[in-house]
Amino acid sequence: MKKTTLIFFFLLAAKLSQSQVPKLMGITEQGNIHPYGELFTINGDGTDFNITCNFHATNLLWGHNNSITASNFVKANNVVYNTSSTSGENEYGFIFTANPFDTGYTDVFDFNFTYGGIPSGGLSVGNDGYLYGMTSNGGFYDTGTIYRLDPSDNYYTYMYSFNGTLGGSPLGNIIQAANKKLYGVTSTGGVNGIGILFSFDISTLTLTDLYDFSYLSNGYTPDGILVQANNGLIYGTTEYGGTYNSGVIFSFDTSGNTYSVVHNFDRPSGSSPVNGQGLMAATDGKLYGMTSSGGTNSGGVIYSLDPGNNNYHVLYSFTGATGAYPTSNLIQASDNVLYGVTSTDGKNGFGVVFSFNPSDSAYTDIFDFSHDTGRTPYGGLVEYSTTGINTLTAEKLTINFYPNPMDDAGTFSFKPNTVKEIKLFNILGQQVRDLRAISSSTSVQLQRGNLTAGIYFYSATTTNGIISNGKIVIQ
């Protein structure tokens, strides 16, 4: 009797686990109240749609009529993160966290020209637990930067400025491979001026050009989303080039630095994956992705690629009536089903949330956006836990430096009294000073010492990870 009861219990638990409906969160470019977009939550079966936040000019800290332009969501320490390439306090975009159980969001960092502006894609969770990202503008050469965010305290660290020669204006995400190096792509720079695939050593802050894209059959205009498959190779896609000039899927072997085209897109089987629309690694070992056009109905496709043999299969062609022209990536939820959004079409013409089951190729339009619910979903989805999402409270840091310009010495004054360090960089991006503030103090002094005359940039960080950047001049 005990044995029968125990077996029944485990069978019941397994059934409940398999049938549990995932909770999803997403974002739109147009809201139902304000034209700036919204955050929403929805169940994986299409039920319980809720708008959790309507973005507007006041809470975006920018009065211009500009929708939020989000990237793909990531989750770190059970906190949901995203970036916007528009709005923010400095008009260069911002990083924010979102709480599906609340009616708002938290701006944790505002980009600026000095340390990078206009994030080119979302954040990626590294093997070391940090979040890594890139900007397409700003930095010391105005061609973008690489940065890191510590999710434990939202501490932002500027790491590298692209110089245009070794790549510039990076696209999409940057990933940390098993060898602990970061890998990404750019849209400009390199030998041919149209971008590179690069690695970045976080221990030495050194960038290496590994492959130069060209106007040839190997593909160009990479979409920016990279993924490392279970065979150790890094995979990505390009929007153009290849045999049919409709883009390619490529692999890159980090052990031998070898670039290979594994599939050429064409119109009948899907073409032109766009920025933000890369591959994702599923639990079955395959890679899944979408294209923004092509396929039977010319509205894009869902496809799979087997890294074991590079076999490419079209799994579904978008029809228009149930959504078309996807512009973001897929996610795999805890029920092993794939979920995504399309930016247009569906019953009302404003996009849909859909599910796709790889086991039987069943596609389901689970929700159609409308004027009343917001429209044009953009940036993909993220699954969140019903046990709650952690949030980090943001604070605003006010900092001044005087006199500016300075001669022999100057003083940083700040509010609140939680600044822990101020880093000083020269015009080349080299750190020249690291000033540590005394606990609870509201000022710290800078002595000139061996600093030569010129322009310097500072980055002040609080104990809560809030950062303020600025410029000083030494006469």
pLDDT digits (tens, 9 = 90+) for 430-448: 889 988 876 667 888 999 9
Cβ pair 213, 159 in contact under 8 A:
no
Report residue 365 as tokens: 């339009």
Residue 417 binned pLDDT confidence (cut-offs 50, 70, 90): low
Considering the four listed CATH numbers 2.70.70.10, 2.60.40.3080, 3.40.50.2300, 2.160.20.10, the one that applies to the domain covering 398-474 is 2.60.40.3080
Residue 12 predicted with pLDDT over 60: no
Domain map (residue ranges) of the chain: 26-384, 398-474
For range 106-135, the mean pLDDT = 89
Residue 7 predicted with pLDDT over 60: no
Q: How far apart are the first and last CA of the chain?
A: 88
Report residue 373 as tokens: 């619910």
What is the sign of the dihedral through the CA atoms of 351, 352, 353 and 355? Answer: negative
Residue 128 binned pLDDT confidence (cut-offs 50, 70, 90): confident
Local structure of 127: helix, strand or coil: coil
The count of C-alpha atoms lying within 13 angstroms of the C-alpha of 130, restricted to the half-sphere facing its C-beta, is 20
For residue 359, the Cα-to-chain-centroid distance in whole angstroms is 28
Residue 59 predicted with pLDDT over 70: no
Average pLDDT over the chain, rounded to an integer: 85
For range 235-245, the mean pLDDT = 94
Which residue type is seen at 129?
Answer: G
Cβ pair 222, 195 in contact under 8 A:
yes
pLDDT at 19: 52
Residue 465 binned pLDDT confidence (cut-offs 50, 70, 90): low
Residue 258 binned pLDDT confidence (cut-offs 50, 70, 90): very high
pTM above 0.85, yes or no: no
- How would you classify residue 85: left for phi > 0, otherwise alpha for psi between -120 and 50, otherwise beta? alpha
CA dist 473 and 475 (Å) reads 6
pLDDT at 88: 77
The answer to whether 26-384 and 398-474 have equal CATH topology is no
Q: Which range scores top for mean pLDDT: 29-33, 238-242, 459-463?
A: 238-242
DSSP 318-379: --BTTBB---S--EE-TTS-EEEEESBBSSSSB-EEEEEETTTTEEEEEEE-BTTTBEEEEE
Report residue 298 as tokens: 């010319």
- If you ran DSSP here, which 8-state letter would residue 192 be given? T
CA dist 283 and 186 (Å) reads 29
CA dist 53 and 27 (Å) reads 9
Residue 127 binned pLDDT confidence (cut-offs 50, 70, 90): confident
Residue 298 predicted with pLDDT over 70: yes
For range 151-158, the mean pLDDT = 88
Strand partners, 374: 370
CA dist 174 and 200 (Å) reads 10
For range 91-117, the mean pLDDT = 84
Cβ pair 75, 382 in contact under 8 A:
yes
Q: Where does residue 454 rank: exposed (0-12), middle (13-18), buried (19+ CB within 10 A)? A: exposed
Residue 65 binned pLDDT confidence (cut-offs 50, 70, 90): very low
Is 2.120.10.60 the CATH classification of the domain at 26-384? yes
pLDDT at 114: 84
DSSP 220-247: EEE-S--EE-TTS-EEEEEEE-TTTTS-
pLDDT at 361: 95
Radius of gyration, CA atoms only, the chain:
23
> Residue 184 phi/psi, 5° resolution?
-160, 180
pLDDT over 70, % of the chain: 86
pLDDT at 98: 87
What is the sign of the dihedral through the CA atoms of 298, 300, 306 and 310? Answer: positive
Specify the higher pLDDT residue, 149 or 458: 149
Residue 240 predicted with pLDDT over 60: yes
For range 275-281, the mean pLDDT = 82
The set of residues, in sequence order, having a beta carbon less than 8 Å from that of 19 and lying 6+ positions away, is none
For range 123-140, the mean pLDDT = 92
pLDDT at 4: 39
Report residue 404 as tokens: 């500016």
CA dist 221 and 215 (Å) reads 9
CA dist 15 and 338 (Å) reads 19
For range 317-334, the mean pLDDT = 93
CA dist 101 and 389 (Å) reads 8
Q: What is the pLDDT of residues 174-198, one digit of tens each?
A: 999 999 999 999 999 999 999 999 9
pLDDT at 5: 39
CA dist 404 and 339 (Å) reads 53
CA dist 189 and 168 (Å) reads 5
pLDDT at 103: 65
For residue 166, the Cα-to-chain-centroid distance in whole angstroms is 22
Cβ pair 198, 160 in contact under 8 A:
no
pLDDT at 45: 96
Q: What is the pLDDT of residues 201-222, one digit of tens each?
A: 998 999 999 999 998 789 999 8
Specify the higher pLDDT residue, 364 or 436: 364
Residue 464 binned pLDDT confidence (cut-offs 50, 70, 90): low
Whether cis (ω within 30° of 0) applies to the bond prior to 405 is yes
Specify the higher pLDDT residue, 413 or 2: 413
Report residue 250 as tokens: 């490529």
Residue 63 predicted with pLDDT over 60: no
For range 229-243, the mean pLDDT = 94
Q: Which range scores top for mean pLDDT: 4-13, 110-119, 411-420?
A: 110-119
CA dist 314 and 309 (Å) reads 16
pLDDT at 334: 93
Residue 346 binned pLDDT confidence (cut-offs 50, 70, 90): very high
pLDDT at 84: 86
Neighbouring C-beta atoms of residue 453, cutoff 10 Å = 10
pLDDT at 29: 84
- If you ran DSSP here, which 8-state letter would residue 21 be given? P
The set of residues, in sequence order, having a beta carbon less than 8 Å from that of 94 and lying 6+ positions away, is 61, 83, 84, 87, 88, 107, 108, 109, 110, 111
Residue with tokens 């995504």: 340
Specify the higher pLDDT residue, 417 or 247: 247
Range scoring the smallest mean pLDDT among 37-51, 78-92, 388-402 = 388-402
Specify the higher pLDDT residue, 74 or 277: 74
